[in-house]
Amino acid sequence: MSTAEETAGGEAQPWGEVTPDAARRLLLAAVEAFAERGYHATTTRDIAGRAGMSPAALYIHYKTKEELLHRISRIGHEKAVEILRTAARAEGSPTRRLAEAVSSFVRWHAGGRTTARVVQYELDSLGPEARAEIVGLRRQVDAEVRGIIEEGVRSGEFDVPDVPGTTLAVLSLCIDVARWFNVDGPRTPEEVGALYADLVLRMVGAARD
C-alpha cells in the first residue's frame, strides 16, 4: 500500500471515486511525487514510473500533469468541505460543533498529511480556470467555520471581535498540521485534534468543562 493510500484520512477506500484502477494508480503516484518533489519538479515520466506504467499510458487517463493536480485538489477540497459541513450541521451548541469541526479537520490533515500537503500547498501551480474552482471550494471551507463562530457570537458563547480574522487563524492552524505532523512523533492524529480543539475554544473565549 502506498503512502497516499495509507494517509488518505482513514477512509475504507481512499480515492475510491477514481476509476478505473489505472487512473487511481496514477493519481496515487502523482500525490506521492508532488508531495516529495513539488509539482514543478515532477515530470509525467516520474509519475508513470511510480505507477509502474509507461508515460504513454498516463495520457490515456490524464491529458496533462495539471489535470492530475486539479483532480487531486478538487477531491481533497470536496472532502474538506464535507468534513466541516458535517460538523457545522450536527446537533449541539456552537462550542461543541466548533470543537468537532477543528478536531476532525486536524485529524484529516494529520492522518492524510501526504495528500493534504499537495491539496493545500500546490494551489498556485494550477491554471486560472482550475484555480478559480478550487478557490470557490476554499470559500465554502471558510464559510462553514465562520458560520459556527458567528452563531457562537450571537448566542453569547464566544467572544470574538473579528470573526473573519479568527476564522482564518483557525483554518491556518488546522492546515499547518499537514506540514509538520510525523507519524513517528509523540502524538497521534486524534491527540493533536483534541489539543487543537481545546486551543481554538480558548481562542474564541468559549467556556469549557
**pLDDT averaged over the chain?**
92
The number of beta carbons lying within 10 Å of the beta carbon of residue 55 is: 13
Model pLDDT for residues 20-62, shown as the tens digit of each residue: 999 999 999 999 999 999 999 999 999 999 999 998 999 999 9
Please tell me whether residue 152 adopts helix, strand or coil conformation. Answer: helix
11 pLDDT more than 60:
no
Between 15 and 118, name the one with better pLDDT.
118
Mean pLDDT check: name the lowest of 54-58, 66-70, 95-99, 163-167.
Answer: 54-58
Arithmetic mean of pLDDT, 110-122: 94
Q: Please, are residues 132 and 21 in contact by the beta-carbon 8 Å criterion?
A: no
171 pLDDT more than 50:
yes
Q: Please, are residues 50 and 32 in contact by the beta-carbon 8 Å criterion?
A: yes
Model pLDDT for residues 119-149, shown as the tens digit of each residue: 999 999 999 999 999 999 999 999 999 999 9
Q: How far apart are CA 149 and CA 47, in angstroms?
A: 41
202 pLDDT more than 90:
yes
pLDDT class of 2 with cuts at 50, 70, 90: low
pLDDT class of 88 with cuts at 50, 70, 90: very high
Q: Please, are residues 174 and 199 in contact by the beta-carbon 8 Å criterion?
A: no
Cα torsion through 91, 79, 3, 176, rounded to 10:
-80
Quick one: what percent of the chain has pLDDT higher than 70? 92
- Cell numbers 513539488 correspond to 38
Arithmetic mean of pLDDT, 99-111: 97
